[in-house]
Amino acid sequence: MLTLKGFRELYLLIFLHVETRRVFIAPATDHPTEAWVKQQAESFLEHTNETGVGTALVMRDRDRTFTASFDDALKAEGVKFQKGAYRSPNTNAFVERFIQT
């Protein structure tokens, strides 16, 4: 994003339903916090419940912004989560490909 002070990085959180190829893109932020990530997980789960697209498993990377509260938000809805291998973007190949487009 271009501001009066120059370019700033924005962070996105993307949920990709592999079976249907539906994408849920969370609102961008320039400072991702634990509370922001947890809220995005809750919004995603609410969206999947409303649309009828089931969510049984969420694969995520090992970024520090995915804290225990993110995992707890998933567990509260009965969704399992799996952490990707350390420094292995190929384990999230579908999302990596989406980002490249």
CA distances from 7 to 1, 3, 10, 30 (A): 6, 6, 10, 11
pLDDT tens digit sequence for 62-93: 888 899 999 999 999 999 988 888 877 777 77
Give the residue extent of every domain in the chain: 2-100
DSSP output for the chain = -EETTEE---B--EEEETTTTEEEEPPPBSS--HHHHHHHHHHHHHHHHHHT----EEEE---TTS-HHHHHHHHHTT-EEEEPPTT-GGGGHHHHHHHH-
pLDDT tens digit sequence for 26-46: 999 999 999 999 999 999 999
Q: What is the pLDDT of residue 101?
A: 67
Q: Is the pLDDT of residue 10 over 70?
A: yes
Exposure of 91 in the CB half-sphere (CA atoms within 13 A)? 12
pTM: 0.80
CA distances from 71 to 37, 98, 99 (A): 10, 23, 23
Q: Which CATH architecture has domain 2-100?
A: 2-Layer Sandwich (3.30)
